[in-house]
Structure 1
Amino acid sequence: MLLIYSNAESWDSLSAEQRDEFARSHAELSAELAESGQLVSSAGLADPITTTTVQVRNGARTTTDGPYAEAKEHLAGFYLIECDDLDQAIAYAARLPDAEYVAVEVRPVMVDAGLEM
């Protein structure tokens, strides 16, 4: 899974042309991954202010508005892709425009067989 991180400062610093390039880059990579059969799913996430965090402690459920982590960066979107190995996943993560400004995390999805990708 390619987890895309962002923050308001980095996004606000982009020009309209740079934002258009972001959209174009994501569309091109999505199309390539879909065509090759590697794209399982992808989506951008709504603004972090729309987050509700749920916790259960001693059987009691509580909810809090906003993300759990107190950090500038937030999870902005994801790509779930099929890759031959970690190197291939890293290569795709590096092609995401977000990697130039904040970060893209590559994380295997756990399968019944264990922690392998």
Structure 2
Amino acid sequence: MSQYLLSVHTAADAGDQPAEPMSPEQFQQLMALEEEMKATGAWLFSGRLTEPDVATVVRRTAGEALLTDGPFVESKEHLAGFYIIEADDLDAALRWATRTTAVIGAPIEVRPFVATSHG
């Protein structure tokens, strides 16, 4: 089995306002989908993130750490949350992503983890 990152992206609306939060119905559907992921052994971990304006960026400049407020990249779209799953192959991971995006209505980027050996 391989591990995949399903990253959830949200975008501001045309007026640069944050995306609408999930409805109670969407939230219930998402919780049911997560329970199914857990029951099948696909779900490893997930997390939901705060808005990017509360982020702190840490950079190394001239040998010193420089901390700045706000997101790393100015963008209307940002990472809102993620899932770490196990799946037999990319097609299986894409099926989970397809079901997730159908519930939350936000784009999902699917990326495999680099295979490493543990010795």
The runs of 5 or more residues in structure 1 that have no matched partner are: none
Deviation at 1:21, TM superposition (A): 2.8
Which residue of structure 1 lines up, in the alignment, with residue 26 of structure 2? 22
Which residue of structure 1 lines up, in the alignment, with residue 98 of structure 2? 94
1:11 and 2:19 correspond: yes
Which residue of structure 2 lines up, in the alignment, with residue 68 of structure 1? 72
Residue deviations 1:47-82, cap 9 Å, x none? 111111111123121111111111101100001000
Which residue of structure 2 lines up, in the alignment, with residue 59 of structure 1? 63
SS at match of 1:33: helix
Structure 2-normalised TM-score?
0.80
Moved more, 53-62 or 84-93: 53-62
1:107 and 2:111 correspond: yes
The runs of 5 or more residues in structure 2 that have no matched partner are: none
Q: Which amino acid aligns with 1:36?
A: T
Deviation at 1:34, TM superposition (A): 0.7
User: In proportion to residue count, which structure has more strand?
Assistant: 2
Aligned pair count reads 109
Output the CA distance in 2 between the equivalents of 1:53 and 1:98: 32
Deviation >6 Å, runs of 4+: none
1:79 and 2:87 correspond: no
Structure 1-normalised TM-score?
0.81
Residue deviations 1:59-110, cap 9 Å, x none? 1211111111111011000010000000111111111146874411001112
